[in-house]
Structure 1
Amino acid sequence: MQIASRIVVTLIGVLHIYILILEMFLWRSERAYKAFGTTPEVAAITAPLAANQGLYNGFLAAGLLWGVIHPNRAFAWQIQTFFLLCVAVAGVYGAATAKRSILFVQTVPSAIGLALVLLANQAGG
């Protein structure tokens, strides 16, 4: 169970690195327009906001990956739990205020990751 939870948490961290790249560096690209349902005109105006969002996604990624590599398992699962909950809450808020698909991109994977982390901790490792 521990291996599965680490893999899922790592994948969620990598997803948030990808979101960071889209929001901070590729905001004015076709890929970002498609992913976020925006236009070149809107992207030009919102680029500073998107970069800020990207930075926060980077913090989420850093926290998730920190939790995966932390040597103290008792503390590592707490780190992972905290950051997975942050991702889940952000996903719910984003789905309610921005785009419904965020629920499936962020909240569902983080809920699966959280379940795996909690099961792995309960199993003792």
Structure 2
Amino acid sequence: MQLIANVVVALVAVLHVYIMVLEMFLWDKPAGMRAFRQTPESAAATKVLAENQGLYNGFLAVGLFWGLLSTTAGNEIKTFFLLCVFVAGAYGAITASRKILFIQSLPAALGLVFLFLS
């Protein structure tokens, strides 16, 4: 069960690296505008905010990778960062798009379930 938990945690971490790249580097490029349904005008107006948001997603990914690599407190670190991802996704679902609940919170919740079962 620990292996499954670690695979899910790694997938959530990789997802957040992808989100970070979209928000920090591709926000005003075709891939970023398509992913976040932005117009060139709205992407230009919100680029700095998206870069900041992307940085936070990068921190979430780093925390999850740290948990995967930690030999002493790995499960506690993974739990903390998965809870952060879950809360961020729930907040995003309430304030921005319900889709975020499925993209961000659901994978984090699955990771938490597998961690607690291991």
Taking structure 1 as the reference length, what is the TM-score of the superposition?
0.92
2:62 corresponds to:
62
Matches of 2:30 and 2:115, distance apart in 1 = 36
2:101 corresponds to:
103
C-alpha RMSD of the superposition:
0.6
Unaligned regions of 5+ residues in structure 2, if any? Answer: none
Residues matched between the structures, number: 118
2:25 corresponds to:
25
Matched, 1:79 2:77: yes
1:16 corresponds to:
16
Matches of 1:34 and 1:103, distance apart in 2 = 19
Shift in Å, 1:100:
1.1
Unaligned regions of 5+ residues in structure 1, if any? Answer: 121-125
Taking only the aligned residue pairs, the percentage that are identical comes to: 56
Taking structure 2 as the reference length, what is the TM-score of the superposition?
0.98
Matches of 2:79 and 2:52, distance apart in 1 = 24
